[in-house]
Amino acid sequence: MKSSTFLAVLTVLLVGVGYLGYLCFHHEYVTVRCPDCDGTGAASCGAPGCVHGRVHCPNPDCLELWRGDWEHLQVAGHPDTELWHRFYLPDGSWSAYSQGHVGHVIQLVNGHWTDMGPCPICHGTGWAECPVCHGKIPCPTCHGKGTIQKEVVLRKFLMVTAVPKGAFPEVGSK
């Protein structure tokens, strides 16, 4: 075989192998929420309670899952898995509000515990701006965007030479 023919055949083989490699392991990217800042785009400043530039709502009347005692109660029209917080009156009676009221202000009005609506500080989220960093420190992973590009390797060809009989049990087999 002449050297020019050999080089031509070798070139075709290398290009073909390269193209098959490209098809088998082509890299694509998808946008996902940043795992470090949980999509907020902000980093924690290190102040007590700061999580991604936010702190738990400081309003003591704001109903929060982390504040007070929560319990499961059997209440008609609500699932048994729902959590409830009891508010007691001086006579020992009580009213309860469910986790569905988290972020709402609960106050004693005319001798009854009353849901006053979403908290004016956290706007019903349970979180307020950190008084130290004000949520202005960008996440070092996503640079404040809240999302990152994640590389995904797609295998377009699955090369299976032989699968032993019985490797995958038949549906309904014992």
162 found inside a domain: no
Separation between Cα atoms, residue 93 and residue 158, nearest integer Å: 67
Identity of residue 120: P
Give 30's pLDDT tier (boundaries 50, 70, 90). Answer: confident
163 found inside a domain: no
In percent, the amount of the chain with pLDDT more than 70 equals 74
56 found inside a domain: yes
Whole-number pLDDT of residue 150: 82
Domain count, the chain: 1
Give 29's pLDDT tier (boundaries 50, 70, 90). Answer: confident
Give 166's pLDDT tier (boundaries 50, 70, 90). Answer: low
- What backbone phi and psi angles, to 5 degrees, belong to 100? -70, -15
Summarised one tens digit per residue, pLDDT across range 41-50 is 999 999 999 9
pLDDT at 158 over 60: no
- Span 131-158, mean pLDDT? 82
- Angle subtended at Cα 27 by Cα 24 and Cα 12, rounded to the nearest 5 degrees: 45
pLDDT at 157 over 50: no
Domain boundaries, position 96: 17-154
Which residue has tokens 């009891």? Answer: 86
Residues 144/69, Cβ–Cβ less than 8 Å: no
pLDDT at 159 over 60: no
Summarised one tens digit per residue, pLDDT across range 93-132 is 999 999 999 999 999 999 999 999 999 999 999 999 999 9
107 found inside a domain: yes
Strands 112-118 and 83-88: unpaired
pLDDT at 5 over 80: no
Mean confidence (pLDDT) of the chain = 83
Residues 24/157, Cβ–Cβ less than 8 Å: yes
pLDDT at 174 over 80: no
Identity of residue 98: S
Separation between Cα atoms, residue 70 and residue 147, nearest integer Å: 34
Residues 69/85, Cβ–Cβ less than 8 Å: yes
pTM metric for this prediction: 0.60
Whole-number pLDDT of residue 101: 94
Tell me how far CA of residue 166 lies from CA of 26, 158, 161, 171, 173, in angstroms. Answer: 33, 20, 16, 12, 11
Residues 156/24, Cβ–Cβ less than 8 Å: yes
Identity of residue 70: W
Summarised one tens digit per residue, pLDDT across range 57-84 is 999 999 999 899 999 999 999 999 999 9
Paired residues of 31 in beta bridges: 149
102 found inside a domain: yes
